[in-house]
Amino acid sequence: MFDTTDMGALFKKFRLSKKLTLKDVAGDFLSVSFLSKFERGESEISLSRFLLLLERLDVSIEEFYGILANERATATEKLLGKVSSAFYQGNSFALEKFYQAEMKKYEETKQKTFLYNAIMIESFLVNLTNQPIANEKMMAISDYLFSIEQWGKRELIIFGNSLSALNDKVIEALAREILFKTTLFGSNEANQKARIELLINIVAIFLERNLLDLAKNYLDLLQQLGIPETALYNRMEYQFVLGIYLFKSGKKEQGKQKMTAVLTTLKTLEAENLRLAHERVYEELINSTI
C-alpha cells in the first residue's frame, strides 16, 4: 500500500514541475490549506477529489501510480533484488541466510507471505545446490497461484522465480493462463515486460528439463508477442534460450553462435555477474555433449 505521505510528496513534485501554485490546482472544490496538508502527508483525500486534482495537473492515474510504484519498491521486490544479486554471484551462503530469515518470520507470524518468499528463495538455491524442494512446499506455491483470479506484480514475481520448484504440468497449466490472469494490469509497457520475462524463464526451465516441444511452443509465443527493440536485455535473453533450443535440437553450431554472441555482448557491456552466470550454463551444455 502507498501511504498519504508518498502520494502527497509526488503530487507536489508534479505540481511544481508544471509551475502551478496550490491555488491553481485547488480551484473551487478544495481549500488551499487542505491541499497543502495533503502534500505534506497530514491529510487523506477521497478518490473522487484526487482524480479531479490529477486532471488539473493533466496527469493520468496510470502515470502517477506508475512513478509512485517505481519510486517505492514493494517488500517482495526489494527482497528479490537482494536474492537475485546473491544468485548471480553464486553466493549460496547469502541465499541460505535470506531463506532462514523468511522462514523465521513465517514461524513467528504464520503469515504465508513469508513462506512463499522462503520457497521462492529456495528455488534459487536449487539451481546452485541441486537439492530438491519438499513436495508440500511445491504444493503451497501452486495452490496459492491457482487460487488467485487476477495476478498482480507479486504473483508474477513468485511464479517467475519459483519455476524450478514446480513440476512440468503445474508450470504448463499456469503458463497457459498468464495472459488473462494479468489482464487487471492492462497492456502497458511494464506489464508486457513482466510477461515476456516470465515466458523466457518458462522456456529456460523446459529446456533445462529437455522438454523441447514445450520450449518451442513458448519460443513461438514470444515471437508472436514481439519483444520491443528497447527491451535489449529481454531480446538478449531470448537469443540465449533460442541458442540453447537450437543446440539441443541438433543445430549445434547455430545454437553455439547465438549463445556466444550473447556472451560477447555481456562482456562488452562489462556485465560480469550476468556473463559468468550465462557462461556457466553455456559450458555445462557444451560439456554435457562431450
| Mean pLDDT value of segment 134-154 | 78
End-to-end CA gap in the chain: 53
How far apart CA 87 and CA 90 sit, in angstroms, is 5
Per-residue pLDDT reduced to its tens digit, 238-250: 999 999 999 999 9
Whether residue 234 has pLDDT greater than 80: yes
pTM listed for this prediction: 0.66
User: Taking Cα atoms as reference points, which of 106, 135, 105, 102 lies closest to residue 120?
Assistant: 102
∠ CA 208-209-210, nearest 5°, is 90
∠ CA 136-139-143, nearest 5°, is 145
CA within 13 Å, CB half, 83: 29
Tell me what pLDDT residue 182 has: 58
User: Taking Cα atoms as reference points, which of 69, 39, 40 lies closest to residue 57?
Assistant: 39
| Mean pLDDT value of segment 232-239 | 95
Any residues with CB less than 8 A from the CB of 277 and at least 6 apart, and which? 87, 88, 90
Q: Is 57:30 a contact under the CB 8 Å cutoff?
A: no
Amino acid symbol at 148:
I
Q: Is 51:23 a contact under the CB 8 Å cutoff?
A: no
Per-residue b or e along 118-136, where b marks 16 or more CB atoms closer than 10 Å to that residue's CB: bbbbbbbbebeeeeebeee
pLDDT band at 280 (very low <50, low <70, confident <90, very high): very high
Whether residue 96 has pLDDT greater than 90: yes
How far apart CA 259 and CA 209 sit, in angstroms, is 18
Tell me what pLDDT residue 275 has: 93
Residue 288: φ, ψ to 5°: -70, -15
How far apart CA 4 and CA 44 sit, in angstroms, is 6
As a dihedral over the C-alpha atoms of residue 61, residue 18, residue 192, residue 244, rounded to 10 degrees, the angle is -150
| Mean pLDDT value of segment 273-281 | 91
Cell numbers for 88, please give them.
548471480
User: Taking Cα atoms as reference points, which of 180, 183, 218, 216 lies closest to residue 197?
Assistant: 218
Any residues with CB less than 8 A from the CB of 281 and at least 6 apart, and which? 240, 244
Tell me what pLDDT residue 206 has: 94
User: What average pLDDT does the chain have?
Assistant: 85
Per-residue pLDDT reduced to its tens digit, 148-202: 777 766 677 778 877 877 888 888 888 876 666 655 444 566 667 778 888 999 9
